[in-house]
Structure 1
């Protein structure tokens, strides 16, 4: 505080600011720390960064439209008493856009991909205010350039600009600042600009035109609505395509749905909804839903009346096959069934986790001349990196996570093949996955774990044992030094003390460090440990030949108090 002039805004703040950080994609934080000042600083800096870019790199110009939307979290547009009175995040973004000389346009509460589709079609920048799938007490936002998402290469120059904007605002005399001591606007509540429904309508038409006719005629689909921002859009488009859409589970309070961490309790609750719907309307073919901002799908098939959850990475495989993709990009966390099926010839090198990395991989595939390029994440969010033509109809590229395309593609594929949704997935290589997590896991502890079980030589991205061989960036060979061989031997031995035969594990056959610590066992099973990029969470991704074993690996990982992840934590201390 001594570094700031006594009459400056920073000296007069009556709280200690917590700076917003980039996560896996976008900025996220606890609502209690999201003052309007903090949101404004970051949004203004990012918009000014867009204005500094040439048009070919996604730049925008002063005076151009700047599109803004949000999900259904209360803190997006109003203050939340339970979170220290913080909120009205959209209002802060609107003010930042105005002060940057833009023309903010309010597109309302729509899915993240609907906002991106509308803004990209007009070569304009945009911001989606959303906490995505993370808990109610968190929120954030995601900025898109006029060409797509901010990529990892953008983060360093953006952060430099944020630091400059922060310093200028903090040094401003308090009497001249638009912010009060709480970091709120002195002017108080401001109404948002009038809401436009055009983006919502264009998003629906995107899929009504591509899936022309009534390809889902005769299907009954239960739509688990909870608090997903796209809940009514999902019902509308399913009915446009001929399905009977049965809405259920609508919630007036925010429900965080993590499609990578689907718990048995959630499946049981949806099973009850499906049973009641079947009793009233007849047999149900599938259950469809999304996460909070509707960029990650949730799909459950039905077999003998029992719901079956299919992971998002499997949805991605079915969707890519349906679209006839000749290049697919997935992160290292995705199910390795893709390595064993019909998509193997189209598979590009696996990336780190996060849509910016997948987008960069799709761009590399395009530069190699691939024509039908797509990608997806383990959460099911599906991205198209090129125009894709099927049955004479063309779908424009949408290089951001989308939930609607994989849901519709899987249902349409099942209909075309004359099988149920469960039967469709039964045709894939039988590799099953499960993810689980420990919440409120301190990031310093996660970082210590990653260091403990990773080589000090940062060139090494993968190791295979018996005999030892090392792989670096883009598949290059790294010669193992005696010290590296000793270190890797220690890492392998410690992992085998954690993933024991008593828990059903075979010896460690290899380790991948592209993103986190991904352990391959001699049996072919996989256990991948990685800290979340968006919250204080530690995740484990499990892959095995059957669902029960994948579930067991995930449970063993997150068991309290002495599961594998907790033992890794203690070993790293």
Structure 2
């Protein structure tokens, strides 16, 4: 047996925790590394009494080519640790998490989410939901033993998938929305390589919609709902013009981030999706990261709004604090549109069970059901909100440490900020916020927010302004200047 210190393995392999799980290059995520991380997660959960020997741990994965190999290594680690590995198939992250939560089981999802398929990742979930930052710290502290010699991993060794998790996820939406929720609506499903591509069709049809699958791909496509590709923007408009859809919907790779267009094929920003979903559900206390559109406060639709650092663990921690303080009807969302439901929600005589992890399906169904109920197109739901618009983009292959160094230098003084961006906004700095990265609000209300990605070597830039045209121009101009940081 070989002893491995997880903190040292993280530093050596480059596979480390980001804003959502452990991620690294496919080459770095060897069977030994994935086995070690899984054993460390289990040991950490046993240490605090969360997991008991012999219980089930549910496993699922996305459609990346590297996912089966990682799943087999994870399953072996689960079995060697004295637990039952229950493979639930190629399923959305929220689907396996939801079923596990209902049965008080831990779960593990193999996915790289929206990032390219030269990378992958592992999401670990406690029986009550996602691991938080304190859990990540516990995992880092573990020392695990690996078998020697390490067994050969056969990626074809996965057992048949248990369909119970998929069935429970489908029933969640069918029962809550009902068979006529989308009756008469025509919806396109941009399938690409998303793991929910068939489930989306099934759910929409169960709610009464006419559905057309679109652009299914055998090659993995990294759809990022915070940085929508130009080709996807063009596709959305083309499909709407040719097919007369009420909306087109899609997700990222593991279906925890939604992508929904209006009837004109214009993709909605994720932080607008979150606000519209929360209003439909009657949420009273809402949590969202500092990067989200300020329309959440400007619309006046919620009793309390809390801002956090970027990443679902921070949103979940704040939701838990709100619940502990007595708040009801609590939810959260991220700028990518992933919606987290902390409370059971009663609406129209039906109850929607809590799912405190990012989900793509709920917010899209909420928007479509709201449009159906009101007899209004999706675009009018957006138009009814205060005029605050966001845009974002990223510089790829931008080292994280360089991002941090440059942002720290810029944050040192308002003069440095104004020298770089002041003429673009034609205004002085009003305030800065370093909750996560550097969020700069200028006196004219425009916003420039810079932040290193938590998942990949990328520098992200988020902007906000009073019109779509203006914010897109501002984002392009900011990205042009940031390119000079290389």
TM-score bracket for the superposition, by shorter chain length: over 0.9
- Answer yes or no: is the 8 Å Cα contact 2:18–2:455 preserved in 1: yes
Is 1:516 aligned to residue 437 of structure 2?
yes
**Superposition deviation, residue 187 in structure 1:** 6.1
Alignment of 1:470-549 (within 5 A): 491-501=413-423, 503-549=424-470
Equivalent residue for 2:348, pick from 366, 388, 391: 391
Alignment coverage as a number of residue pairs? 480
Q: Secondary structure at the match of 2:289?
A: coil
Aligned position for 2:8: none
Aligned position for 1:339: 297
Is 1:51 aligned to residue 46 of structure 2?
yes
Alignment of 1:66-215 (within 5 A): 66-77=57-68, 88-161=69-142, 164-165=143-144, 168-169=145-146, 177-179=148-150, 185-186=151-152, 188=154, 191-215=157-181
**Superposition deviation, residue 265 in structure 1:** 2.5
- Answer yes or no: is the 8 Å Cα contact 2:425–2:442 preserved in 1: no
**Superposition deviation, residue 308 in structure 1:** 1.6
Equivalent residue for 1:64, pick from 38, 51, 55: 55
Deviations 1:67-98 (A, max 9, x none): 00000001001xxxxxxxxxx00011001101
Is 1:284 aligned to residue 250 of structure 2?
no
Aligned position for 1:26: 21
TM-score normalised to the size of structure 1? 0.81
- Answer yes or no: is the 8 Å Cα contact 2:430–2:442 preserved in 1: yes
Deviations 1:172-230 (A, max 9, x none): xxxx7032xxxxx3365561122111111110100101102311111101110101100
Alignment of 1:151-550 (within 5 A): 151-161=132-142, 164-165=143-144, 168-169=145-146, 177-179=148-150, 185-186=151-152, 188=154, 191-276=157-242, 278=243, 283-302=244-263, 306-347=264-305, 349-454=306-411, 491-501=413-423, 503-550=424-471
**Superposition deviation, residue 339 in structure 1:** 1.3
Aligned position for 2:483: 566
Q: For the residues of structure 2 that align with 1:350 and 1:160, how far apart are their CA atoms?
A: 29
Q: For the residues of structure 2 that align with 1:8 and 1:120, how far apart are their CA atoms?
A: 33
Q: For the residues of structure 2 that align with 1:152 and 1:8, how far apart are their CA atoms?
A: 27
Q: For the residues of structure 2 that align with 1:438 and 1:380, how far apart are their CA atoms?
A: 21
- Answer yes or no: is the 8 Å Cα contact 2:285–2:302 preserved in 1: no
**Superposition deviation, residue 310 in structure 1:** 1.2
CA RMSD of aligned residues (A): 1.7
Q: For the residues of structure 2 that align with 1:110 and 1:529, how far apart are their CA atoms?
A: 33
Note the residue ranges of structure 1 that are not aligned, 5 or more in a row: 1-6, 11-15, 78-87, 170-175, 180-184, 455-486
**Superposition deviation, residue 263 in structure 1:** 2.9
**Superposition deviation, residue 255 in structure 1:** 0.5
Runs of at least 4 residues off by over 6 Å: 7-10
**Superposition deviation, residue 241 in structure 1:** 0.7
Deviations 1:527-546 (A, max 9, x none): 10000000001001111111
Q: For the residues of structure 2 that align with 1:261 and 1:505, how far apart are their CA atoms?
A: 26
**Superposition deviation, residue 514 in structure 1:** 0.3
Q: For the residues of structure 1 that align with 2:14 and 2:446, how far apart are their CA atoms?
A: 40
TM-score normalised to the size of structure 2? 0.96
**Superposition deviation, residue 270 in structure 1:** 3.0
Q: For the residues of structure 2 that align with 1:91 and 1:365, how far apart are their CA atoms?
A: 39
**Higher radius of gyration, 1 or 2:** 1
**Superposition deviation, residue 9 in structure 1:** 9.4
**Superposition deviation, residue 499 in structure 1:** 0.5
**Superposition deviation, residue 369 in structure 1:** 1.1
Q: For the residues of structure 2 that align with 1:326 and 1:444, how far apart are their CA atoms?
A: 39
**Superposition deviation, residue 284 in structure 1:** 1.1
- Answer yes or no: is the 8 Å Cα contact 1:9–1:177 preserved in 2: no
Deviations 1:516-569 (A, max 9, x none): 00000001011100000000010011111111111112111222xxx2x234x3
